[in-house]
Structure 1
Amino acid sequence: MAETRILLLLLLCVCRILAVVVVSRNKKPVVLEHESVELSCIIEDSDTTTPRIEWKKSRGGETSYVFFNNNIVGDLMGRAELLSRSSLIIHNTSRTDNATYRCEVAALNDGKKFDEVTIELTVQVKPVTPRCSVPKAVPAGKTAVLHCRENEGYPNSMYRWYRNSEPLPDSSKSNPKFVNSSFTLDPRTGTLVFSAVSKADTGHYYCIATNEAGSAKCEEQELEVYDLNIAAIVGGVLVVILVLGLITLAICWAYRKGYFANRKPKGKSYKTPAKPEGVNYLRTDDEGDFRHKSSFVI
């Protein structure tokens, strides 16, 4: 019985010697673009002082080496280095560094035991100036759509519209202050829709795109809402119809009076003189035209 216990203890010791234990202080690090970040991979236990260490990167379904055969490889070459034997530091991070990284450590012995740790890196990118579209003038009662969008920020930006430097809520119905308006705002797409604009919606509009890395604002643009004068439009149409009717009557009267009838031109009429009877014309290349009487005999 004692021998069995000793054997089990020996087996446990051997297993522990052959084992590799890897841990990380931060499995989901977050960093701003262009800054440095550490991907922590700490070897807590190993039977060798020179284990085999490899780093791999997975992005978009593709996996590639980052650290292999004691060298930085791939797109991190020149921007990354190993710290404290197994941790990875990335300098001047970019949006392409957003990926899942795997640190693999193997003991160089007959057992070939290894351990690994997975780290999800998020590189936050500040939004760029969004592209804003605001109609210049819209008649009262009509639909108006304002657009705001940028595609550089990561994570995706959220959008907020401002009128005369005052933020607009997601819906005019949610705030009694905007009871005279009829708009809805989608913060994810940056689209502001007025179902029927009113004079109260006239003002200067701009949009701000925001994410965890920062914010950006587009230039202010003016939206004018004008009243549609139905009476003036109807009056203008009637005037045009009246003018066209008068022109038509004038043309008809002129036709009846004969002002458009064809008239013979004044003056003498010149006609080609008729050939004298009994005279024929002959033409030669050398002599030109000459005439002779019918009685002329060669």
Structure 2
Amino acid sequence: MTMAWLPGSFLCGALLGWVCLSVPGLAVEVKVPAEPLSAPVGKTAELICSYSTSVGDNFALEWSFVQPGRPISASQPILYFTNGQLYPTGSKSERASLLQNPPTGGVATLKLTDVRPSDTGTYLCHVNNPPDFYTNGLGLINLTVLVPPSSPLCSQSGQTFVGGSAALRCSSSKGAPRPVYNWVRLGSSPTPSPGSMVQDEVSGQLILTNLSLASSGTYRCVATNQMGSASCELTLSVTDSSKGRVAGAVIGVLLGMLFLSVAVFCLIRFQKERRKKPKEIYGGSDLREDAIAPGILEQTSVRGDSNNGLLERAPSASTVTTTKSKIPMVV
């Protein structure tokens, strides 16, 4: 008896399941574009969302937004429809509306006017229609707001002399999609050879190697995306390092000569000051090595009279008188 009941129960369950699945309106199916959408800044974007379900009294529609790089759970509401009423909410509420209101005919498309760069992100179209619980009724749409490149900033670095290398850089702070960069040289001067010039269109960097005087000139960087282009310019001046070394050597020689001249001048001035110093004057109490002992007259030298030709001889030692001491001697 048990064996006879099992096949009957299994058949009844399978039949009931087939009937339930075949009843229309038991599953909510949401359709959104498979490809990401884009809209120029300042224009209106239409985020297409359609659904199929048996709309009942509990039907509800919600649109929400999440910024790039953040999880779906962090989404913020834009508007929702329930109980026959539309309720805009959030920072985009003044610019958001439904293409069809009420959205009970299977179309839940969102219109967003005057789109801005901050509108770039993921939009969620969520349809809820209890008791239809076979799917989550969710569709995701990625929107990119297109922005032309802002005026880029040009800069340079490196050793800008003959034989050196220089890096020219270019970058725009705004632009969606991300701009590509291209460097060109202005004027009729010859462009550096391809082997000495390498540029990266993504980073906006131009590398110039083995610089020569012919590398000098004005260079322009052009930032481009599908919305437009912008540019900046800079002037590269390459100098001859050998001339700089010669100039440095000449300056060094001149400084050396100046230093030597100052040293000679100071030495001459010192000698002159030394010669002007007065001779040493001895006082009465000073003892000189060439002084004559007291009581002895200094012999006078022979003087020549240039007028009469006569010679006067100094008195001899025998004519010199001395004064003997009269102090008695004690024996």
Same fold (TM over 0.5): yes
Greater radius of gyration (CA): 2
Match of 1:126 in 2: 148
Contact 2:64 2:124 in 1 (8 A): yes
The Cα of 1:207 is off from its aligned counterpart by: 0.8
Q: Work out whether 1:191 is the aligned partner of 2:191.
A: no
Q: Work out whether 1:182 is the aligned partner of 2:196.
A: yes
Matching of residues 41-190 of structure 1 within 5 Å:
41-43=49-51, 45-48=52-55, 51-59=59-67, 60-61=69-70, 62-69=74-81, 70-84=86-100, 85=103, 86-107=108-129, 109-112=130-133, 114-134=136-156, 138-164=160-186, 178-179=192-193, 182-190=196-204
The Cα of 1:9 is off from its aligned counterpart by: 5.3
Match of 2:229 in 1: 215
Q: Work out whether 1:36 is the aligned partner of 2:44.
A: yes
**Which is richer in strand?**
1
The Cα of 1:100 is off from its aligned counterpart by: 0.9
Give the direction of change, closer, same or farther, for the CA distance of 1:180–1:93 in structure 2 (3 Å limit): closer
Greater mean alpha carbon deviation, residues 4-13 or residues 234-243: 4-13
Structure 1 stretches lacking a partner, 5+ long: 167-176, 264-298
Match of 2:266 in 1: 251
Separation (CA, whole Å) in 1 of partners of 2:275 and 2:254: 28
Residue type matched to 2:205 in 1?
A: T
Cα offsets for 1:201-231 (capped at 9, x unmatched) = 111111111223321111x332222223133
Residue type matched to 1:79 in 2?
A: R
Q: TM-score, normalised by structure 2?
A: 0.66
The Cα of 1:110 is off from its aligned counterpart by: 3.7
- What's the % identity of the aligned pairs? 26
SS state of the match for residue 184, structure 1? strand
The Cα of 1:261 is off from its aligned counterpart by: 8.1
Q: Work out whether 1:226 is the aligned partner of 2:226.
A: no
Contact 1:33 1:93 in 2 (8 A): yes
Give the direction of change, closer, same or farther, for the CA distance of 1:261–1:92 in structure 2 (3 Å limit): farther
The Cα of 1:6 is off from its aligned counterpart by: 6.9
Match of 2:19 in 1: 10
Q: TM-score, normalised by structure 1?
A: 0.72
SS state of the match for residue 133, structure 1? strand
Separation (CA, whole Å) in 1 of partners of 2:44 and 2:266: 86
Match of 1:236 in 2: 251
**RMSD of the TM alignment (CA)?**
3.1
Cα offsets for 1:36-74 (capped at 9, x unmatched) = 11111112x211166310112111423111112422211
The Cα of 1:180 is off from its aligned counterpart by: 7.8
The Cα of 1:88 is off from its aligned counterpart by: 0.4
Contact 1:81 1:90 in 2 (8 A): yes
Give the direction of change, closer, same or farther, for the CA distance of 1:54–1:150 in structure 2 (3 Å limit): same
Residue type matched to 2:62 in 1?
A: E
Cα offsets for 1:163-205 (capped at 9, x unmatched) = 1169xxxxxxxxxx74386343232222223344211211111
Contact 1:201 1:225 in 2 (8 A): yes
The Cα of 1:247 is off from its aligned counterpart by: 1.7
Residue type matched to 2:248 in 1?
A: I
Contact 1:144 1:193 in 2 (8 A): yes
Separation (CA, whole Å) in 1 of partners of 2:251 and 2:125: 79
What is the aligned residue count? 248
